[in-house]
Amino acid sequence: MKKLTFTFCLVAVSFLNLSKAQVGGNQIYRERNSADYSVPRNLTEFNNTNSYFTNDSTLIVSVKILMNKPADRYKITLGLNEEADTPKIALENINKRINSFIKRISSMGIKNDAIFVDFISQTKVYDYNINKDSQVSTQKMDEFETKKNIIITVDKHSMIEKLVSEASDFQIYDVIKVDYISNDIDTIQEDLLKEAYAVFDKKKENYFKLFKKEIIGTPTATSGFTYVFPKSQYQNYTAFESANVTYGYDTRYVRKEERKSKTFYYDGTDYTGFDKVINNADPEVGIQYIMNFSVKYDLKKNKEK
């Protein structure tokens, strides 16, 4: 085949909103969004999402590859606050807690260069003086509050739970977020492009073997690379069944609801439409990498009879 004119487009999207996997189990109780109800206009359109587009003068061969891969590192952000009569005392007390916590986790092998303390805010805290005789409440400045975040990078996912456990000993309870980090996105991009080209080569060969078309000019290719972080891939639902209560005009009782637990779960990119999925059976939540590869050929038209 003739040499391809190749154009590459990199789009790094950490919040890519893609269609979700099939429904089963208690997750059927979750609220639906518009993407859940989007269906192909016809079966042919559905089956051709990753196939060929062709007419009498053009052929486009498209390939989609997805890879699931655990993160190389994890960055956890913990939040804490301290209230005191003066800003100085609040700052001293919060620093004591932070320094004690850092000393504790250093014994776990976490080095100082993997820890950063971020000063967030120092604000006044207001309360009210209530005069029962005049029934007047007067606002007053009560204390000062200092907030800080501790950002820690670790190499193993198992370290996250250990950090959360140790943090609780120092009244650090707010797990703000966990970021998933990849050390070598460039290499992953190159590897997926090779995988996509291998799949494309077979599809191209099958087409020309069947239809014996003649290529005109130089083919052109485009490619797009995206990656999806877990933070955008979680769903939630509340599963329960409840009786209905009918109220009348003379009803004098109050309906008291019980607390219903909400379930959150990871729901990664749907595999539908992909030519190849790498590590599709790996249960570990990680980063999903997606490669799109497409080649356009100009074809010699068939002679009209």
Q: Are strands 52-54 and 5-10 parallel, antiparallel or unpaired?
A: unpaired
Position with higher pLDDT, 255 vs 281? 281
73-181 fold: Alpha-Beta Plaits (3.30.70)
Average pLDDT value for residue range 85-96 = 97
Least confident of 69-73, 95-99, 220-224, 255-259: 255-259
- How far apart CA 44 and CA 46 sit, in angstroms, is 5
Average pLDDT value for residue range 273-296 = 95
- Closest Cα to residue 164, out of 93, 105, 91, 119? 105
**Looking at the predicted structure, is the pLDDT value of residue 40 above 90?**
no
**Looking at the predicted structure, is the pLDDT value of residue 44 above 90?**
no
Whole-model pTM? Answer: 0.78
- Closest Cα to residue 147, out of 212, 87, 71, 219? 87
Residues in the chain: 305
Q: Are 38 and 249 in contact (CB under 8 A)?
A: no
Residue 242 to residues 68, 248, 259, Cα–Cα distance (Å):
39, 19, 12
Q: Are 146 and 82 in contact (CB under 8 A)?
A: yes
Return the DSSP state at 51: S
Q: Which long-range contacts (CB under 8 A, 24 or more apart) does 251-254 make?
A: none
What is residue 196's predicted lDDT score, i.e. its pLDDT? Answer: 96
pLDDT above 90 covers a percentage of the chain that reads 63
What is residue 255's predicted lDDT score, i.e. its pLDDT? Answer: 74
For the chain, helix (H) and strand (E) counts, in that order, are 4, 12
Query: pLDDT for 120-174, tens place per residue?
Result: 999 999 999 888 888 888 888 889 999 999 999 999 999 999 999 999 999 999 9
**Looking at the predicted structure, is the pLDDT value of residue 264 above 60?**
yes
**Looking at the predicted structure, is the pLDDT value of residue 28 above 50?**
no
Residue 295 to residues 205, 225, 227, Cα–Cα distance (Å):
13, 15, 22
Return the DSSP state at 261: P
Domain coordinates in residue numbering, the chain: 5-71+183-299, 73-181
